[in-house]
Amino acid sequence: MLISCPDQPGIVAAVSQFLFEHGANIVQSDQYTMDPEGGLFFIRIEFDLPDIEENIERFQRDFTHVANKFQMDWKLNLTSRKKRISIFVSKEDHCLLELLWHWRSGDLDVEIASVISNHPDTQPLVDSFGIPFYHVPVTADTKQEAEEKQLSILGDNVDVIILARYMQIISPSFIQHYADRIINIHHSFLPAFIGGKPYDRAHNRGVKIIGATAHYVTEELDGGPIIEQDVQRVSHRDNVEDLKRIGRQIERSVLAKAVAWHVEDRIIVHNNKTVVFS
Amino acid sequence: MLISCPDQPGIVAAVSQFLFEHGANIVQSDQYTMDPEGGLFFIRIEFDLPDIEENIERFQRDFTHVANKFQMDWKLNLTSRKKRISIFVSKEDHCLLELLWHWRSGDLDVEIASVISNHPDTQPLVDSFGIPFYHVPVTADTKQEAEEKQLSILGDNVDVIILARYMQIISPSFIQHYADRIINIHHSFLPAFIGGKPYDRAHNRGVKIIGATAHYVTEELDGGPIIEQDVQRVSHRDNVEDLKRIGRQIERSVLAKAVAWHVEDRIIVHNNKTVVFS
Amino acid sequence: MLISCPDQPGIVAAVSQFLFEHGANIVQSDQYTMDPEGGLFFIRIEFDLPDIEENIERFQRDFTHVANKFQMDWKLNLTSRKKRISIFVSKEDHCLLELLWHWRSGDLDVEIASVISNHPDTQPLVDSFGIPFYHVPVTADTKQEAEEKQLSILGDNVDVIILARYMQIISPSFIQHYADRIINIHHSFLPAFIGGKPYDRAHNRGVKIIGATAHYVTEELDGGPIIEQDVQRVSHRDNVEDLKRIGRQIERSVLAKAVAWHVEDRIIVHNNKTVVFS
Amino acid sequence: MLISCPDQPGIVAAVSQFLFEHGANIVQSDQYTMDPEGGLFFIRIEFDLPDIEENIERFQRDFTHVANKFQMDWKLNLTSRKKRISIFVSKEDHCLLELLWHWRSGDLDVEIASVISNHPDTQPLVDSFGIPFYHVPVTADTKQEAEEKQLSILGDNVDVIILARYMQIISPSFIQHYADRIINIHHSFLPAFIGGKPYDRAHNRGVKIIGATAHYVTEELDGGPIIEQDVQRVSHRDNVEDLKRIGRQIERSVLAKAVAWHVEDRIIVHNNKTVVFS
């Protein structure tokens, strides 16, 4: 359960009292008060409640009273229900493969509804995992049409879209369908190298550290809420190809972490920033 | 307020309800349930309560009812009351200096009651900070006498002792006076190089990473609960002197972090491990 | 070309003069003098020499004069000749997969001669990469027989054996066949947790950082020359399963780096330590 | 000895032959060929030559023949001659203190000619180290005058100027006096937050990692060659004050490393990038 609301005394008491009365045992709870910057209160509560699946409607109806009293923005997710994800990819397959691996090993506990690509290159790989692959070419002229096709493939039961090195810009109207539900991996340490060819530019600038950034996609290019970042040292000996190779390793692990946190409902987005209860 | 007790439903509800009824606003709260390993529940709650200083006795008496119901092990510390620390040091001054710096800059919000050393070397430095310095020589024959002198200097209002590269082994009886209240910095990545000359041994073993460990002192040499560790890469080019120089930087920052967490009451010790709500 | 010899003036001059006279252009050169600890000199020289493949015998014969003068221990490898590796694995496939991936993406430029396992589990995976898989069961009684079978599969043209989470102890006689040519990944930060179940023991000790170590296999269990190590932070929240999951990521990347350095001839072993010209 | 020149066969042979003939023993040598990007060759050679101080003029004259043949850009520094540095500082003293510490402990082997500040705050500290302190106020109107005063204090025998959190922009004419000899610590991971208040902006952007960058000062604000960078993880829990506190630790260590590398002649600047033979 993820809650955000204006801070005031009694929130934790009210929520924990409610859960106790409904027979739930709190397993984990993380909270954060953004005091000087707007007085907002965020909390994530993970609890055990054996019969919640049958009684979820009543549970939610009852909680509405608590929520209204404190003007809460809240959502409740059952861990028993797996998130459904769709992966968008272009030609480079390292991020896709990392996700497929984590999925097959059980470390990423989701259902992969589809892999959608503007190139056919990764089809054999995706087929070998038994996951539906859709080739949807995109050109400047066919972009709108392609996005409509993508939306129809996605249907209405995909929880989150992962851009695993998908090299097309998503249109604002598409983004609105999946607000705070499209995760992109940007191959640099944002906001250092927004836009294309970040490793070339990092090399030209002579940086000693390169990085990767996973963020939610918003209309502003590479400007959405940052979920996770990581970096690695490089030196003058590393040419652009080396930076790309090193960068691929960072991209893989950063994206995998961000996706895991999202599907475990550990992220609250607020004011273009993320609160990550990792 | 730090609480540990057997896990059961209703703890958070009871505590937060209690705080709400006494007019407290929870600023931060971290909890951890050690489920499969004993069913223990740990929580740290930081709250605002304007008039607590005047009413602390009544507050504690009232809370005893809650505590007894859940068999709680608990303590309450007022952030308005600064912790008093004493620093033990031998000849090397880098860890001592780091703490003095953090103290002077305000990053370490404590009162430094004394610096006690078995060597006179650091006296001028300590004097320049206006802190009482005591030279208590220690030899094999005078160890017991020296420890009695140290205890009498400490008196009964020092909260925590920091061994900032103090190269003497503390006796069990001394440790009992300050159980879970003596922090040592060990100059290696424990449990890799327990005992003396860890950098020499790390060099002989050809490790590619060296580290430092801050831990509470127990009777078992270098075996107490680990508070914090950090590491840095080294290579074949680094000789023992280089390892020591690099190690000093790690020791400084690891010890400073551990001390800060302790004086902010962020650490619970349980079964020779620490729960650190950092 | 990798050279080690007692240090004395004139070595670099002699070698570089030799290479210049034979028409070679030095592309990269790294050297290291282990002065106070034995006066040994190590150098790795990477050079371009267009017609070396035809003239390699004459080149080596000529260089013998230089080598003898300085008592050099040296070897020359052609980058045009790919190293042949064999991967040993048990049930866990994450390290195996990482190597197969790097190989397929071209980041690991080797020929994979075989994958040998004491369990059949990874066969489908290995088959899908088109690499020969051999199932060689090992029990306490059949160990010698099994090792003979492994040696016969390896034949005489495998350069290096990678133990990618191979959970059997290799016998001294097998090790002698491949001295400094068997790389193991140990799932802890050596020498912290030598032997089995290191993550369980790390959890019991309450460490705040876990690691993995790639090393050459010698007769001393987990005591061989360390090639590479890396670590990651953990906390009290991570249970043993979490440590294993986090550990798998470290193991993958540490082993991949160590293998890459070995096949690029960047490692010299001396006195149970490695000099890595990375 | 630091050399850069167009790459061609025979450079190493010629230089090492020259050193051998003059009786020098090469202690360390690092080289780097920037092949596809201009064919430049860089080398740093550290050698022992007992009587070099008496014969340095002849040695340099002799080497000019080698240098001319290969169009070398070169310089020779005697490790026996300590570099002289001047530290510029404003009000914040953490970077200044770090350098003074490393100097006093012997880790930074330089002569500190002066500390120059536009504020009087750090004078007592600097006095306590026995180092000449100069208070040179700077206003918009008096900038030119102030810089002239600074130049006259520096005289003509200061090797490098360290801006240890000196919050004034240096004029182009001043920079020209000390080209590639003014080191600045920028309190962010360049090029992410060029200009003022980087921690505030990092917080607004919600980054998960903050950093610091040491670079040579050029006319382009925060655009000079990067020497060293480092980073640390932060989270949504860290407010701007926390970022500044964490940032101070990174700034201290990054600046100290950059200064050490400079005074040990480990850095070659080329095309707004650095080659650091660390």
Write the pLDDT tens digit of every residue in A182-223.
Answer: 999 998 888 999 988 999 999 999 999 999 999 999 999 999
**CA of B148 to nearest chain C CA: how many angstroms apart?**
32
What is the structure's pLDDT at A188? 87
- Chains linked to A by 3 or more Cβ pairs within 8 Å: B, C, D
Q: Which of B222, B230, B238, B242 is catalytic?
A: B222
Of D7, D12, D33, the CB nearest to C16: D12
A16/B20 CB distance under 8 A: no
Q: Which two tokens stand for residue C259?
A: 């293998």
**CA of D185 to nearest chain C CA: how many angstroms apart?**
28
User: How sure is the predictor about D179, in pLDDT bands with cuts at 50, 70 and 90?
Assistant: very high
ipTM, 2 dp = 0.92
Q: What values do phi and psi take at A267, rounded to 5? A: -120, 130
Interface mutation vs chain B, best among A16, A45, A66, A208, most B CBs within 10 Å: A16
Percentage of chain D beyond pLDDT 90 is: 87
Q: Which of C156, C222, C238, C265 is catalytic?
A: C222
Contact list in A for residue B17 (CB cut-off 8 A) is: 13, 16-17
Interface mutation vs chain C, best among D7, D18, D22, D25, most C CBs within 10 Å: D25
Interface mutation vs chain D, best among A43, A207, A228, A232, most D CBs within 10 Å: A207
Q: Which two tokens stand for residue A220?
A: 């502003």
What is the structure's pLDDT at C51? 87
Whether the CB-CB separation of C153 and C116 falls below 8 Å is answered with: yes
- Chains linked to D by 3 or more Cβ pairs within 8 Å: A, B, C
User: Is residue A37 over pLDDT 70?
Assistant: no
User: Is residue D92 over pLDDT 90?
Assistant: yes
Interface of C with A (CB under 8 A): 94, 97, 101, 105, 107, 128, 245, 249, 253
Q: Which of A222, A230, A238, A242 is catalytic?
A: A222
Interface of D with A (CB under 8 A): 32, 34, 36-37, 189-193, 205-209, 211, 225-231, 235-237, 239, 272-276
What is the structure's pLDDT at B66? 95
Write the pLDDT tens digit of every residue in C167-214.
Answer: 999 999 999 999 999 999 998 888 999 988 999 999 999 999 999 999
> Span D134-139, mean pLDDT?
97
CATH classification number, C83-276, choose in 3.30.530.20, 3.40.50.170, 3.40.50.2000, 3.40.50.1480: 3.40.50.170
Is there a common fold for D2-75 and D83-276?
no
Coil, helix or strand for A26? strand
Q: Which stretches of chain C drop beneath a pLDDT of 50?
A: none
Interface of D with C (CB under 8 A): 7-13, 16-17, 19-20, 23-33, 35
What is the structure's pLDDT at D117? 98
Average of per-residue pLDDT values in chain B: 94
What's the per-residue H, E or C state across A102-126? HHHHCCCCEEEEEEEECCCCCHHHH
Write the pLDDT tens digit of every residue in B35-76.
Answer: 756 689 999 999 999 888 888 999 999 999 999 999 999 999
Average of per-residue pLDDT values in chain D: 94
What is the structure's pLDDT at D255? 98
> Span A59-86, mean pLDDT?
94
User: Is residue D214 over pLDDT 70?
Assistant: yes
Q: What values do phi and psi take at D260, rounded to 5? A: -60, -45
What is the structure's pLDDT at B27? 86
* Residue of C105, C231, C101 lying closest to A101 (CA atoms): C101
- Please give the positions of D annotated as active site: 222
What is the structure's pLDDT at D190? 86
Write the pLDDT tens digit of every residue in B218-255.
Answer: 999 999 999 999 999 999 999 999 999 999 999 999 99
A107/C253 CB distance under 8 A: no
> Span D215-235, mean pLDDT?
96
What is the structure's pLDDT at D38? 64
Contact list in C for residue B211 (CB cut-off 8 A) is: 209
**Hey, what CATH topology would domain C2-75 get?**
Alpha-Beta Plaits (3.30.70)
Whether the CB-CB separation of C118 and C50 falls below 8 Å is answered with: no
User: Is residue A258 over pLDDT 90?
Assistant: yes
Indicate the domain borders of chain A.
Answer: 2-75, 83-276
Q: Could you give the CA distance from residue A202 to residue D231 in angstroms, rounded to a whole number?
A: 16
What is the structure's pLDDT at B82? 94
CB pairs under 8 A between B and D: 11
Whether the CB-CB separation of C215 and C222 falls below 8 Å is answered with: yes
Q: Which two tokens stand for residue D70?
A: 């290969």
- DSSP secondary structure string, chain C? -EEEEE--TTHHHHHHHHHHHTT-EEEEEEEEEETTTT-EEEEEEEEE-TTHHHHHHHHHHHHHHHHHHTT-EEE---TTS-EEEEEEE-S--HHHHHHHHHHHHTSS-EEEEEEEESSSTTHHHHHHTT--EEE----TTTHHHHHHHHHHHHTT---EEEESS--SPPPHHHHHHTTT-EEEEESS-TTTT-SS-HHHHHHHHT-SEEEEEEEE--SSTT-SPEEEEEEEE--TT--HHHHHHHHHHHHHHHHHHHHHHHHTT-EEEETTEEEE--
Whether the CB-CB separation of C118 and C136 falls below 8 Å is answered with: yes
